[in-house]
Structure 1
Amino acid sequence: MKCTKRPKIILVPYPAQGHVTPMLKLASAFHNRGFDTIMVTPEYIHHQIVSRLIESKDQTLSMPIPDGLDKATPRDFFAIEMAMENNMPGHLEAMVRKLDEDGGVVCMVIDLLASWAIEVANRCRVPAAGFWPAMLATYRLIAAIPDLVRTGLISDAGIPQLLGTTCLPDQPMLSTEDVPWLVGSLAARKARFKFWTRTLDRSKTLRWLLVNSFPDEYMIDGKQTQLVKNSKDYHSPLVFPIGPLSKHAVSKNPSFWEEDKSCLDWLDKQKPDSVVYISFGSWVSPVGDGKVNNLALALEESGRPFIWVLGCAWREGLPVGYLQRVAMQGKVVSWAPQMEVLQHKAVGCYLTHCGWNSTMEAIQCQQRLLCYPVAGDQFVNCKYNVEVWGIGVKLNGFGQKDVAEGLRRVMDQDSEKWKNRLRRLYERTMGEEANSRVLSNLKAFIDDLKSITSWSDS
């Protein structure tokens, strides 16, 4: 594979906001180091981000491929999985071969949740690096599936057999209920488990794994423990922690939705550390209509000012007349400029689903957390937020007493203790020394890539 022009890296994210955003930031990092970067997404994602990429003058080229689904088909997990497995591989392979006609494609970086693309890279004889957009701890839990089955903690269909704990090296005790495929009905859980076992099987051919996390995830009482271990027990590729990528922003956040910036003017009128910010992310529905109603009433009863990110489709779950009643107390928006909100001096607490991007943004902005995990890796993230890093409190439900007690613990107790803990965590994960390790890891990956290709930057 002889490269005669500026080398190309093709990036394939899983088609969801929380995966596309860090992949774009990784693409920007590669572009700044001499690569042409091409991100390949389904057409419906491409149309959502391409205008924002042009507006922000981002140098990554976005290229669409068909997903084969009707426009009216909801893009839920199972519809996307079907499209990725059945419809998209042929289109991606044709695109890769076209882009590589001059031998210029030196690598494909593939989100592990889009593992189908690993097989495309192998067929096209292009070196492939995996990309893990979440905590390495969650990857290691998934990679330990064979051991969990062998020890009887889960069945060969992924269903917990014992309400026990598992302890991987240098990680906190995790429950069998923390595994990320336990979402939805029994059939849905089995299907998600099959998705992960297939992902693991395909990932065995990977030479590298780029992880959107900091090098030392597991810290207790200031002690840093080496988490990255290339053990055959976990079918580990070479692991390069290169995050958190949330810190390395493109000039404009490539959000899929229009941000309502009026909430920033509203925040300017609030007292410091007084506002509760509520957002359950972009991928998983918040909690269901009944719980939307309960949370709404609990926020109203608390009397605290709040900003709540709640899509229009979920507002039917609000009590009748609710928006009018709380107009002076709170603001409900469809989508918010999250980093700007979290950085605002008026915000004193973030009620979050514990998505990884949101967790990293909270650490970057040094915001204390009220944690309500909903699905996937959020349960492991919550465990770290609460039990390892001590930057949040877990919310057990949306009853008025639960919410009031959670807010009291996070916002009214030991304010300086919370702030000091967040400050220390920020320095360890995003400070100068941590950033130096990230840059070193990125350079090490690029150097290893050079060593197996004929590409050179000389």
Structure 2
Amino acid sequence: MSTEQKKGHVVAFAFPFGSHPTPLLHLVQRLAAAAPGVNFSYFNTAESNQKVLPTADLKSYDNIKAYDVEDGAPKGYVFSGNPLERIELFVKSTPDNFRRRLEEVVGETGLKASCLLTDAFLWFSVDMAAELGIPWVAFWTAGPAPISLHMYTDVIHSRLGQNGAAQNQDQTLDFLPGLSAIHASDLPHELLHLDQPFSRLLYDMSLALPRATAVVLNSFAGIDPDVETDLKSKLKKILNVGPSPPPPGIDQDGCLSWLSSHAAASIAYISFGTMLTPPPPELLALAEALEEKQIPYLWSFRDDSKRQLLQRFFEKTESVGKVVEWAPQTRILAHPSVGVFVTHCGWNSVVESIMGGVPMICRPFFGDQMINRRRVQDVWWIGVGVEGGVFTKSGMMTALDVVMSGGEGKKMRENIGRLRECASRAVAENGSSTENFESLVDIVTSSSHQE
């Protein structure tokens, strides 16, 4: 079917940082396969597109096109190294960068947008969609608990007071439905302090989401039932469509065959996502604990600036360990040899660990990761946080003992097995996530008929 013959033009806006762009692109790919008669345009910054697109295999889709938008950095700008700097420059450039690029694409193709499908962070999309007379579908890349906390920002501020979280670290949020296990110390900085551009963006998002035609989550019904019930009372439509299977990655370093040469539940898989690596003292403590416990490990390690720090450890343990720059994580976590996942507790990693049936040792750093760690440890009982919140040799050895051996680890595997069954039911033929995805396809395709 040629571009001219296709009906509808779904426009996807990505938030170009961290793990955000990839799940949105995967969702676009799922929708494009389900609705071949609709055009899809994926808007992201050039730098982020260069990272995301090479692994996406868009050539298989004749109804997806990717476009670059400006990132807000002046030409020749020298960054200071503060990770928030890039985000703040980008935020200041929105929504004009997306608006300009969309107008150019519409002018080039003659295809008016029929639906805006955007990262939920890009809250301005609700006004843009209203101007165009089309639906706004917001995609939330994290779990139900964090989005609920953002919806309660004003209540949290009124209860905890200014800087209240700093003074009452152990206070729990028992005044919020389904969130009594969350401590004030788990809350991300940007939720508590609204004086920065990124913090304001998230606050404005919480005000805009009730206006969305639908809010889509890469989650599944039953993982946080009380939170989900409360969210349904605040938003027009909640669509859990996960766990969304990512396109299969290439196992270029032979991770799976290496795993197959090991006993069941014997390997520690270690990965901290794409954004950061723990500081040097923590990396050394983690390495020392693995060496002392003589635990075989598979480590996805991509920070060249810190590789020298661990080079001696990698060489000493090369008979029991494997280090790669990139790993097919979903397939690794589904492998029977993996006994524990040492993780930053990003949402995608948590869901993939649940689907693989692997308990976690969590060392969160920022954003929703502390909230996810609290759910993993104190609500679902499918893992532990590291003692004191940072890696120490003794704390890591204790965590490995708890998860890899004894009754607690066995109980975690039973709990994670129940959650995995819940997720599997959701994505089955008549499951809730399957039906929700069909509803999402309906929203996207029915909007195309309004042209």
Q: TM-score, normalised by structure 1?
A: 0.84
Query: 1:250 is matched by which residue type in structure 2?
Result: P
What is the identity, as a one-letter code, of the residue corresponding to 2:212?
Answer: L
- Matched with 2:26 is 25
Query: 1:216 corresponds to which letter in structure 2?
Result: G
* Total equivalences in the alignment: 435
Match 1:61 to one of 65, 69, 78 = 65
Partner of 2:243: 244
Residue 443 (str. 1) matches residue 434 (str. 2): no
Aligned to 1:398: 391
The Cα shift of 1:33 comes to 2.8
Q: Deviations over 1:202-222 (max 9, x none)?
A: 44542321111112222xxxx
SS at match of 1:32: helix
Residue 173 of structure 2: which of 160, 166, 183 is its match? 166
Cα distance between partner residues in 1 of 2:435 and 2:329: 29
- Which stretch has the larger CA shift, 12-21 or 94-103? 94-103
Report if aligned partners of 2:17, 2:87 keep a CA contact under 8 Å in 1: no
Listed one character per residue, the Cα deviations across residues 387-422 of structure 1 (whole Å, up to 9, x for unaligned) are: 222211222142222111111111112365443322
Letter in 1 for 2:10: I
State the match for 1:11 in structure 2.
Answer: 12
- Give unpaired runs (5+ residues) of structure 2: none
Give CA-to-partner distance per residue, 1:357-397, whole Å, 9 cap, x none.
00111111111111222211111111221222221122214
For residue 48 of structure 1, the aligned residue among 51, 71, 82 is 51
Report deviation, 1:100: 4.4
Query: Could you tell me whether the CA contact under 8 Å between 1:172 and 1:388 is conserved in 2?
Result: no
- Equivalence map 1:96-135=2 (5 Å): 96-100=102-106, 102=110, 104-135=112-143
User: Structure 1 117/261 Cα, relative in aligned 2: closer, same or farther at 3 Å?
Assistant: farther
Give the secondary structure class of the aligned counterpart of 2:354: helix
Preserved contact between residue 216 and residue 226 of structure 1 (Cα < 8 Å) = no
Cα distance in structure 2, aligned partners of 1:194 and 1:94: 23
Structure 1 residues 226 and 399, CA, compared in 2 at 3 Å: closer, same or farther?
Answer: closer
Instruction: Flag the 1:139–1:230 CA change in 2: closer, same or farther, 3 A.
Output: closer
1:121-180 Cα distance to aligned partner (Å, 9 max, x none) = 4444442111101111110011101111222x142x785453321132233421111112
8 Å CA contact 1:19, 1:133 repeated in 2: yes
Find the aligned partners of 1:311 and 1:362 in 2 and give their Cα distance.
20
Partner of 2:372: 381
Find 2:205's aligned residue among 196, 199, 202.
199
Alignment CA distance shift 1:119-1:11 (3 Å):
same
Matches within 5 A, 1:274-423: 274-283=266-275, 285-316=276-307, 318=309, 321-396=312-387, 397-414=390-407, 416-423=410-417
Deviation string, structure 1 residues 412-436 (Cα, Å, up to 9, x no partner): 1236544332222111122267662
In 2: Cα distance, 1:58 partner to 1:412 partner: 46
TM-score with structure 2 length normalisation?
0.85
Equivalent position SS for 2:314: helix
Inter-partner Cα distance in structure 1 for 2:79 and 2:196? 23
1:240-262 CA-to-partner distances (Å, cap 9, x unmatched) read: 222222xx233548xxxxx7523
**Contact 1:228–1:239 under 8 Å retained in 2:** no
Cα distance change on mapping 1:76 and 1:4 into 2, 3 Å? farther
Q: Could you tell me how far 1:72 is from its partner in structure 2?
A: 5.9
Q: Could you tell me which of 122, 131, 144 is aligned with 1:136?
A: 144
Which amino acid in structure 1 is aligned with residue 205 of structure 2?
Answer: T
Contact 1:291 1:398 in 2 (8 A): yes
Shift of 1:194: 3.1
Distance in 1 of aligned mates of 2:303 and 2:445: 49
Q: Decide whether aligned partners of structure 1 residues 288 and 237 sit closer, same or farther in structure 2, where only a CA change above 3 A counts.
A: farther
Is the CA contact 1:154–1:160 (under 8 Å) kept in the aligned structure 2? no
Change (3 A) 1:182 1:79: closer
Identify unmatched segments of 5+ residues in structure 1.
219-223, 254-258
CA RMSD of aligned residues (A): 3.2
Alignment match, 2:39:
36
What is the aligned-residue identity percentage?
22
- CA separation of 1:53/1:319 partners in 2, compared to 1, >3 Å: closer, same or farther? closer
Aligned partners of 1:273 and 1:347 also within 8 Å: yes
